[in-house]
Amino acid sequence: MLLAAIILIPALATLWTAWQNFSTGLVPEAVLLTATGLGALAVNFTCARLLAPFRSAGGSLTRAAFLSARNDVVANIAIIVAGLLTAVTASRWPDLIVGLGIAALNAGAAHEVYLAARAEHVAAKP
């Protein structure tokens, strides 16, 4: 259940960054945003592929590891798209919208891990 809370940390960090970008009005550097997304995608896709066979076989910890890697892949693709849209539009909105989506994705994964851990906890009671 603690891992579910840990999964929320990136969601909270994303919300904080989105708020800072929204309140300052700064437009992120499109090339840096896209390049960061591409590099992270390569790493996280590899991790997700390695964890995929075990996503249903293990308990809540295995589920949490897979969900984190999967969510990171989805987030990285969204970051790449946001970077490309930012380059075309010179707007901060693609980055802000993606940030909110990433926060929601991580919150959903945290909830799923919490439910799995809670079920394990209940099943373990004598």
Mean pLDDT in consecutive groups of 10 residues from the start of the chain, 126 residues: 83 86 88 95 93 78 82 93 96 92 88 85 81
Give CA 76 to chain center in angstroms: 8
3-state secondary structure the chain: CHHHHHHHHHHHHHHHHHHHHHHHCCCCCHHHHHHHHHHHHHHHHHHHHHHHHHCCCCCHHHHHHHHHHHHHHHHHHHHHHHHHHHHHHCCCHHHHHHHHHHHHHHHHHHHHHHHHHHHHHHHHCC
pLDDT of residue 18: 83
Q: Give the count of domains, the chain.
A: 1
User: Which residue segment(s) compose the domain that 108 sits in?
Assistant: 2-124
Q: What is the structure's pLDDT at 109?
A: 83
In this structure, what are the phi and psi dihedrals at residue 27, rounded to the nearest 5 degrees?
-95, 125
pTM listed for this prediction: 0.79
